[in-house]
A = this chain, B = another copy of it.
Amino acid sequence: MDGKKSINIGLIGQQFMGRAHSNAWTQARHFCSPPLNPVLHTICARNMETLIPFSELWGWQNTCNDYEAMCRSPEIDLVDVTAQNHMHLAMSKAALAAGKAVACEKPLAGKFEDAREMAALARKSDAPTFVWYNYRSCPAVAYARQLVREDAIGTIRHVRGFYLQDWADESVPLLWRFDGDISGSGSHGDLCAHTIDMVRFVTGEEITEINGALFETFIKERAQVTKVSGGGIAANVSGSGDAEMVPVTVDDAVLFLSRLEGGAVCSFEATRMATGRQNYNGLEINGTKGSVRFNFERNNELEYYDATGPRGRQGWRTIMCTHEPDHPYSQFWWPDSHGTGYEHAFINMAADILRVLAGEEPISPMPDFEDAFKTQCVLEAVTQCFNEQRTIKLSEVT
């Protein structure tokens, strides 16, 4: 209609992320002036009973339950994978085999071997790949990166990464997120992967070694899930009253110590058990010239300390990252301090994917499989550090 080329999306999954991505492709066009028009061409999922109304609600033109067929379809340009972690490899493989662009939910894979294979496949393919580390497209996070690149905080000495949630008490049954065969890990891949990517993205530095690690599973067994409905993190899920108790095979929490290539020391913590923190994903970075701090529970805000001006006037300031044109993505949204929310990072990222596919610069550089594999190597190194009780250099993990 507007003379732009279209691109046909094939989405796999209709749960929490299926909804977030359906919205992202819809709203990217409404708000973000992408150079390509994303067409909601086909949605693919196993449960056709729920898929029909889902596809009607979001305006997906077609439905299917055979992802391999969808990947092969000449009408599909981009395969968007939101299925559970253990399916990322097979689905991405099918898409890449058909020469399709792939946008895969994070983490790259539940298992390190899967992720390694995915990176290798992507390396051999000409098709572009993307991994939905959506927090990169949160304006405040993108602006933190910009401040670091403008040398606003100088040489980085300290990084604290954290992702704290509190939804996983004893009453929660054994969702797939607690099943290592499906998820690969618990808070580690689910939460900490986001924070590791955020640290890499904002600092522009790689983690070079893991110096200490601690995993903990506070709740050793949970009720077998008998019925699941809805698409939240843990919402609308219950075990029956006399459900069988089964072992939890993933971590509830992970902490580790590490170093960045520029000499900084870093700590990370991710947990589903931090009472009072629900989506406290963020970081604090202290440099020689200043500091930044972010947490997603106040997603429009970036805290910044400038140590270069008059000492008497120094203080932590709260930047509302909503000012056009200074803040990334602000040109697409509302006036100053009329904030955006959780879904906007997905929308912003969808638009960035479309920019990359059109040969334009994205506002935030997005991770491809190769890049996301580096985050996966960190996850793996942390696990090795814990198991072997020694410092693991990232160069050992390949």
Judged by a CB distance under 8 angstroms, whether A23 is at the interface is yes
Chain B neighbourhood of A253, CB < 8 A:
157-158, 265
Q: A276-B291, A286-B276, A338-B342 are in contact. Are A56 and B316 (CB under 8 A)?
A: no
Rounded to whole Å, the gap between the CB of A391 and the closest CB of chain B is 6
A306–B313 CB distance below 8 A: yes
**Option from B263, B334, B390 in Cβ contact (under 8 Å) with A341:** B334
**Option from B30, B263, B275, B289 in Cβ contact (under 8 Å) with A275:** B289
Judged by a CB distance under 8 angstroms, whether A75 is at the interface is no
Chain B neighbourhood of A286, CB < 8 A:
164, 166, 271, 273-277
B218–A279 CB distance below 8 A: no
Specify how many copies of this chain sit in the oligomer: 4
A313–B320 CB distance below 8 A: no
B323–A312 CB distance below 8 A: yes
Q: A288-B275, A320-B278 are in contact. Are A335 and B218 (CB under 8 A)?
A: no
Interface size on A, residues (CB 8 A): 97
A305–B276 CB distance below 8 A: yes
Judged by a CB distance under 8 angstroms, whether A29 is at the interface is yes
Chain A, residues 208-227, CB within 8 Å of chain B (1/0): the string is 00011110101000000000
Chain B neighbourhood of A269, CB < 8 A:
158, 160, 267
A312–B319 CB distance below 8 A: yes
A305 and chain B: residue at smallest CB distance: B276
Chain B neighbourhood of A166, CB < 8 A:
286, 307
Judged by a CB distance under 8 angstroms, whether A86 is at the interface is no
> What's the Cα separation between A322 and B278 when bound, in Å?
10
Judged by a CB distance under 8 angstroms, whether A355 is at the interface is no
> What's the Cα separation between A57 and B31 when bound, in Å?
9
A259 and chain B: residue at smallest CB distance: B214
CB-contacts of A250-266 with B (<8 A) = 253, 255-257, 259, 263, 265
Rounded to whole Å, the gap between the CB of A168 and the closest CB of chain B is 11
Judged by a CB distance under 8 angstroms, whether A61 is at the interface is no
A265 and chain B: residue at smallest CB distance: B216
Stretch at the interface among A105-113, A117-125, A195-203, A296-304: A296-304
Judged by a CB distance under 8 angstroms, whether A389 is at the interface is yes
B320–A317 CB distance below 8 A: no
**Option from B152, B169, B235, B288 in Cβ contact (under 8 Å) with A335:** B235
Q: A30-B58, A232-B324, A296-B338 are in contact. List 15 more A-B contacts (CB 8 A).
A: A157-B218, A158-B274, A211-B213, A232-B335, A255-B257, A275-B290, A279-B336, A297-B337, A304-B315, A311-B326, A312-B323, A312-B327, A314-B323, A315-B320, A333-B341
